[in-house]
Amino acid sequence: MRSVVFALALSPVLLLNAADDHADVSKRLQAATDVFNEIMSTPEKGIPREILEHAQCVGIVPGLKRAGFIVGAKYGKGFLVCRTASERWSAPEAIRIEGGSFGLQIGAGETDLVFVVKNHSGEEKLMQDKFTVGGDAAAMGGPVGRDASAQTDAQMHAEILSYSRARGVFAGISLDGSTLRPDKDDNHVLYGENGTPRQILNGDVRPPADAQPLYAMLNRYAEAAGGHNARK
């Protein structure tokens, strides 16, 4: 009897925690949408549309944390979407990026990160439990502006092109040494038990309603052949 009473007393707390978790993930998804829209709304300083139109996947991490002097630490949470076999965008997979970097990093701050996965080989690596950028997948800072012809030969052969925005400056950035993995907790909030990376990115999971604004931005700047995503 006591266990039943305890369970009934605990239920409202669990429901409130679940609601808070969903609100946090939804807020982060909206932040990712806003970051992508703000970056692409200035074509002269954004990602070349030709690169986005041929992208297999797009990842967005709003507010990547940076800290340290000389040796910096990075940590951020965001989302990844990929083109499915039907050429629509997959449901957003929650991801986290972590890792150290070396260079002249003074003080702390936040950086918005966007990365483009150029082919299926790169997408397959993103489905791993964890992979290292630059080690498991060739990556480089991407070209900025309207014209993708500014790519160097090395950028053309990279599997991942990455970009950052800090203090209003948008530019290509190297993520070598960073690790990227699925955020299992956030994926569980969005999809329950059905949210494995492969299920999500292959298009086998129904996208949440909160993802529709992100699809609108992606289809505006990198429309898939299948047109905009509709609720499945």
Is 227 inside a domain boundary?
Answer: no
Is 1 inside a domain boundary?
Answer: no
Is 143 inside a domain boundary?
Answer: yes
Entry pTM: 0.82
148 DSSP assignment: G
Residue 109 has a pLDDT of 66
Whether residue 10 has pLDDT greater than 50:
no
Summarize the confidence of residues 89-117 as an average pLDDT.
Answer: 76
Is 231 inside a domain boundary?
Answer: no
Asked which of 23-32, 153-162, 183-192, 193-202 is least confident by mean pLDDT, the reply is: 153-162
Is 8 inside a domain boundary?
Answer: no
What sign results for the dihedral spanned by CA atoms 187, 101, 38, 144? negative
Is 53 inside a domain boundary?
Answer: yes
How many CA atoms lie less than 13 Å away from 138 in the CB half-sphere? 10
Is 10 inside a domain boundary?
Answer: no
Residue 72 has a pLDDT of 52
Of residues 127 and 83, the one with the higher pLDDT is 83
146 DSSP assignment: S
Whether residue 91 has pLDDT greater than 70:
yes
Whether residue 12 has pLDDT greater than 80:
no
216 lies in which domain range?
Answer: 15-222
Domains: count for the chain: 1
Whether residue 36 has pLDDT greater than 90:
yes
Is 230 inside a domain boundary?
Answer: no
Whole-number average pLDDT of the chain: 79
Exposure b/e, 172-185, CB count within 10 A at least 16 = b:
ebebbebbbebbee
Residue 157 has a pLDDT of 74
Residue 149: pLDDT band (50, 70, 90) is low
Residue 131 has a pLDDT of 79
Assess contact for 143 and 39: CB atoms under 8 A.
no
Residue labelled with tokens 């494995």: 196
What is the tens place of the pLDDT at every residue in 177-210?
788 899 999 999 999 887 789 999 999 999 999 9
